[in-house]
Structure 1
Amino acid sequence: MVSRREFLRGGSLAGLTSLMPAANATARAKATPANRPYEAVCDTRYPEGDAFLAAVAGQAYRSHGVGNDPGVVLGILPEAMTAGRAVVGLTTHTALVIAQQVAGPQGYALAYRGEHTHLGDEQLRHRLLGNAAWLADLATLLKTSADSWPSALGNAIPRLTIDQECADRHELSCRAARPQGSPGQLVSWILVPAPRS
């Protein structure tokens, strides 16, 4: 159940982001987050965010925890984008929407997106958007990692080669327990600077 305060805060953030130009949904990029410094944004209110953060903390240039206010990404992204760093995340949809709205006008685009939804009865559905070159391997990794999917994803995402348009989709379900306190749905993503024409 969402409290009135959280609902109003979400509406205010949605209103703010609607004033900014929308980011491109996909882009052609020629980079791997791992071959250059990248920043990580994790929703540390939830066990999945903590596990993802632990996996990326040793690899990332910097990692940031996002708590109750998804608007925190407004303060994180400008410095990362000024330095041309990719940004990876495991957050709520709201934080991703804000990140895309901030990053789009700066020439950044969404290069990967994964929706991770607990369906009940220990079923977890992963809906992935990315490159066919690595999407099936990422899906296999998620299927075999079960409960430890946030850690597996945190180790895999920065190593993905983002070198073509990300228009391929893959969906899978696996057995995974929903951790206590989990929101039931989180989004993993990579924002990268689009190549200059």
Structure 2
Amino acid sequence: MSVNLTHILGWRVRITNILDTVTEGRIYSFNSSNNTITLDTTTSTKKNKIKKSKETNLHDFKIIKCLFIKHLEVIDDKSKKQSGFGNIKPSYINIDRIDQLLKDQIAKASIKEGLLNRGVTEEGQFIFNLIHKTISDTKWGSKSNSIIILGDIEISSPYKVDNIKCLHESDSNSKNSLNLIVKIVQNGWAKWRINHPDSDNDDGRKGG
């Protein structure tokens, strides 16, 4: 079982490293950036001396790399009751990784938002999504609800085969792209009819 070490600060623990060296102390801090745990290993006798002398810089600390921890055991009864278990395997929060994950999710959400056009029909968005899965350079026209593919092919509403046209003079590459898009649109409307049997759309080959 793993536990976030930031939740057990102040607990008294016994740590055994990979060399079977045992260290006891209270968890003073946990650094997720360099993956280390700091134990306050000050003995009870020394703590009493600190109280009597009112010195604050006499504590003993030991910094341990979490990768070298074989196991960690909670050894005081109060901490055991709070945790519900005595032996735990330490884990940590990788701040950089979380930050990158958040950035990735925001980027994905922005891309997804850019693919949606709330001004078109459900069928139009469906056809757009199908084309985008195959050709990433697919976007909505800036001044219309037309689908623009590769900056060279346009599909206007109602997004059927007869609504596909080349925006520039055709060459061999454009013709190949056009043939591919025609197949995607045809297959798309076939899927739409299967999933929407009550739809009054025609076979997808006609405009209008």
Q: Same fold (TM over 0.5)?
A: no
User: What is the TM-score with the length of structure 2 in the denominator?
Assistant: 0.25
Greater C-alpha Rg: 2
User: What is the TM-score with the length of structure 1 in the denominator?
Assistant: 0.26
